[in-house]
Amino acid sequence: MTMEDIFCKIISSSIPADIVLQNADWIAINDIHPKAPVHVLIIPRRHLSSLADLDQQDPALATALLAAVGKVAKQKGIDQSGFRVIINQGEHGGQEVAHLHIHVLGGKSLGPKIVQE
């Protein structure tokens, strides 16, 4: 695992984070720049640069990450009202940190899914 990105540093406890839930495969933290009342990041402990690096060889990790979404939504009390799940991929997809992570947003009506320009 590379120790270069901020998520690797959080996972190694080199820098603090507001942890929501965690297990052996992933850690879920509150986003420091939330875009909704609830904005949690689910991050695999194993460094994967992006969703494109999660291939068919990793079905257990993919399943664990998707199951984490439901656990986080329930923990944050948005499982019944609804929430949005976002995985940004690459520069054009808006990925800012080169470490796979899933955004879980909720706590209010989130409006349009894609902003038209």
Active centre residues (catalytic): 101
Write out the E strands in the chain.
19-22, 26-30, 38-44, 83-86, 102-106
Q: In what order do the strands lie in the sheet with 102-106?
A: 19-22, 26-30, 38-44, 102-106, 83-86
SS3 label, residue 89: coil
